[in-house]
Structure 1
Amino acid sequence: MFHYLSADAAARRSQFDRAIDRLSDVIALDPGNPAAYHDRGVAQQGLGNYRGSLDDFDKAIALSPRMARAYSSRGISWKLLGDFDRAIADQTQAVALSPWFAEAYSELGVAYLCKPDFYNAVHCLTEAIHHAPKNAGNVKQRGIALYCRGDFKAAIPDLQRAFDTTNDIYALLFLHLARANSRENASAALEIDAVKVRSWAWPSAVVGLFLGRLSAEETIAAAGTPDERAEAQFYLGQQHLLRGDHAEARKALEAATQTCPPWFNEHLAAVADLQRLG
C-alpha cells in the first residue's frame, strides 16, 4: 500500500519516473495486480514512452480482460503513436465494456476526428457530453468537430459555451472562425469576448492577430515552442482565408498539416479547410 500511495503522489506531481519506480515495486510484490500495470502504463505515457506503455496495458488486459480503462488508456497510446484504427478499436471495446464511460467516448470521438471521420466524431462526442454534461472540454471538442465537418452555425453554441465556462482561448479562436464562416459579424463578437484576454501570450496572441492588433511576425514571436509555432501556421492560414488570399492560405495550412502532431485540433482543422479549398 505504501508503494501505491507513493506512486500516486508522485504521478500527481508529474514525477512520472518516480511513479514508475514505485509501481514496479508494487508489481514485484504482487505480479497479478492489473491496476498496477495500468497505472504504470499511464506513468509511461506521462514520460512520452508510448511504446513502453503498450506493454503495461497489454499485461493489465491479460490479467483483467474486462478492464475498460485499460483498453481506453491503450487507445490513447495508439492515438499518440498515430495508429488511429487501433485507437478506435480499443476505445470501442472500452465503451462496450462500460457504456457510461464518458472519457472513452470522448477519446473515441477524437480518434474518429483524426481519421478524419467527422460524422462519427460528432456522434461519439455527443455521447461523451450526454454522460458528462459538465465537461467543457468535450463540448469544445464537439464544436471543433462540427467546424471540421463544415457545420459552422452548429459549432458556435458549443464553442461559446466552452469559452464562457473555462475561458479556453482555443475555444475562442475556433468560435471566431465558425462565426466568420457563418457570415456573422465575427470581429465585433470577438472584440466583446476578447475582454477576458489578459495578455498577448500564446495562444492569446492569435486573438490579437485576428483583431488587427498584432502582426503576423509578432504572432509567430509569441509562439515559444515548436508545437506552438506549428499551430501558428494554421492560424496564419486562417487569417489569409479571411482576407480571401487562398494561395497564401493553402501554403500556411499545408505547413500546419506537416508540422502539427496529427491529433492536434489545428492539424485536423487544416486538413478540413484544405479539403474545402479543393
Structure 2
Amino acid sequence: MGGGDMLRRLKVLFHYSKADAALRRGKFDRAVDDLSKVIQAAPDNTAAYHDRGVARQGMGNYRGSIDDFNAAIAIDPRMMMTYSSRGISWKLLGDFERAASDQAKASALSPRFASAHAELGVVYLCKHDLDNAVRSLTTAISLAPNEPNHLKQRGFAFFCQGNFKAAIVDLQQAYDIANDAYALLFLHLARVKTNANASAALETDASQLRTWHWPSAVVGLFLERLSADATIAAAGTPDELAEVQFYLGQWHLIHGDRAEARKALQAAIQACPPWFTEHTAALAELQRLD
C-alpha cells in the first residue's frame, strides 16, 4: 500500500470516528461535515452516504437525506438499511406511498429486519390502513418481541381500530419496558373506553413515570391535577401545541362534553402533521363520534 493510500484511509477513519461520535450526541451538522470529508476521500463509501442521510434527516433536511440515500443505493442496491432510512424520510415528507414501497423493499431484502416491518406498519397507520398496520407490526413483534416501540405502535393501531382490550395489553407492556409517557396516555384512554378502573390504574402507573417532561402535563390533566389551560401552557413547541388538542378532545369526552371534544379533535387534525399518531387517532375518534 502506498503512502497516499494510507493517508487516505487514515483520513476516512479519523472523520468517520468524529462523525459517529457527533451522531450519538445528536450533533447532526457536525456529523454532516465529517461525513462529507469521508465521501470526498472515498466517493464509493456507501455507509458514509447512508449515515450522512441519517444526519440530514436529524436536521430536518429530508430532501437532502433522500439525495444521500439515493447515492448509497446507486452504489449498492442491496443495502436494505438504506431503503428503510429513505422510507422514513418519505414518511416525514408525507409521501406515504413511497415510504411504504421503500419499507417493503427493505423487508424483502431482509425478511427478518424487524424495524422495516415496524416502519411499514407505521406508514399503514399514517394511511389509516389499520388492518395492514396491525399485520406488519405483528410481524415486527414476532421478530423482536421485547422492542417497546413496536408494541407501542401496535397498541396505537389497536386503539384506532377500536380494539381497546388488545391495545391495553400492548401499551401496558410497552410502558413497563420503556416508561414511555405516550404509551401511558393511550393506555389510560384505552382503559377509559373499556370502562376499566382507569383513574386508579393511571395513578399507579404514573407513580412509576421517570421523566416528567412533555407529555407528562397531559398525565396531570387526566389525573385532574392540571387544568386544560395549564396543560396548554405546558406545551412548549408547535408540535406539542398540536398534540395537546387531541388529548383535550379525549378529556372533554371523559367529561361528557361531546361538542367541545369534537372541536378539539378537529383542531388536532388541522394542526398535527399526518404522520403524528394523534392525527390518526383524532380521525378515528371523530368517526366513532359520528
CA RMSD of aligned residues (A): 1.3
Within the alignment, does 1:189 sit opposite 2:201 as a pair? yes
Q: Which residue of 2 aligns with 1:127?
A: 139
Within the alignment, does 1:105 sit opposite 2:129 as a pair? no
Structure 1 ranges of 4+ moved more than 6 A:
none
More displaced stretch, 205-214 vs 101-110: 205-214
Match of 2:57 among 20, 35, 45: 45
TM-score normalised by structure 2 residue count: 0.92
Q: Which residue of 2 aligns with 1:160?
A: 172
Shift of 1:164: 1.5
Does the Cα contact within 8 Å between 1:140 and 1:158 map onto a contact in 2?
yes
Structure 1 residues 3-28: Cα deviation after superposition (integer angstroms, max 9, x where no partner):
21121111112121111111111111
Within the alignment, does 1:268 sit opposite 2:249 as a pair? no
Does the Cα contact within 8 Å between 1:23 and 1:39 map onto a contact in 2?
yes
Match of 1:236 among 211, 223, 248: 248
Match of 1:259 among 271, 275, 284: 271
Question: Where in structure 2 are there 5+ consecutive unaligned residues?
Answer: 1-12
Q: Which residue of 1 aligns with 2:233?
A: 221
Counterpart-to-counterpart distance in 1, 2:68 and 2:207? 46
Counterpart-to-counterpart distance in 2, 1:267 and 1:197? 25
TM-score normalised by structure 1 residue count: 0.96
Q: Which residue of 2 aligns with 1:8?
A: 20
Does the Cα contact within 8 Å between 1:201 and 1:222 map onto a contact in 2?
no
Q: Which residue of 1 aligns with 2:79?
A: 67
Counterpart-to-counterpart distance in 1, 2:115 and 2:243? 25
Local SS of the residue matching 2:207:
helix
Name the aligned partner's letter for residue 181 of structure 2. Answer: I
Does the Cα contact within 8 Å between 2:179 and 2:210 map onto a contact in 1?
no
Name the aligned partner's letter for residue 225 of structure 1. Answer: T
Shift of 1:200: 6.3
Number of positions where the alignment pairs a residue of Structure 1 with one of Structure 2: 278
Counterpart-to-counterpart distance in 1, 2:139 and 2:176? 22
Shift of 1:244: 2.2
Counterpart-to-counterpart distance in 2, 1:101 and 1:34? 19
Within the alignment, does 1:55 sit opposite 2:67 as a pair? yes
Does the Cα contact within 8 Å between 2:90 and 2:99 map onto a contact in 1?
yes
Counterpart-to-counterpart distance in 2, 1:2 and 1:133? 37
Name the aligned partner's letter for residue 43 of structure 1. Answer: A
Question: Where in structure 1 are there 5+ consecutive unaligned residues?
Answer: none
- Cα gap change, 1:43 to 1:155, in 2 (>3 Å): same
Shift of 1:33: 1.6
Counterpart-to-counterpart distance in 2, 1:59 and 1:135? 31
Shift of 1:197: 3.8
- Cα gap change, 1:221 to 1:201, in 2 (>3 Å): farther
Within the alignment, does 1:150 sit opposite 2:162 as a pair? yes
Shift of 1:198: 6.2
Counterpart-to-counterpart distance in 2, 1:225 and 1:215? 19
Local SS of the residue matching 1:224:
coil
Does the Cα contact within 8 Å between 1:169 and 1:204 map onto a contact in 2?
yes
Shift of 1:174: 0.3
Q: Which residue of 1 aligns with 2:216?
A: 204
Structure 1 residues 86-134: Cα deviation after superposition (integer angstroms, max 9, x where no partner):
1000000000000011111111111000001111111111111111112
Structure 1 residues 170-199: Cα deviation after superposition (integer angstroms, max 9, x where no partner):
111101110111121211211222222468
Shift of 1:202: 2.4
Local SS of the residue matching 1:196:
coil
Shift of 1:166: 1.7
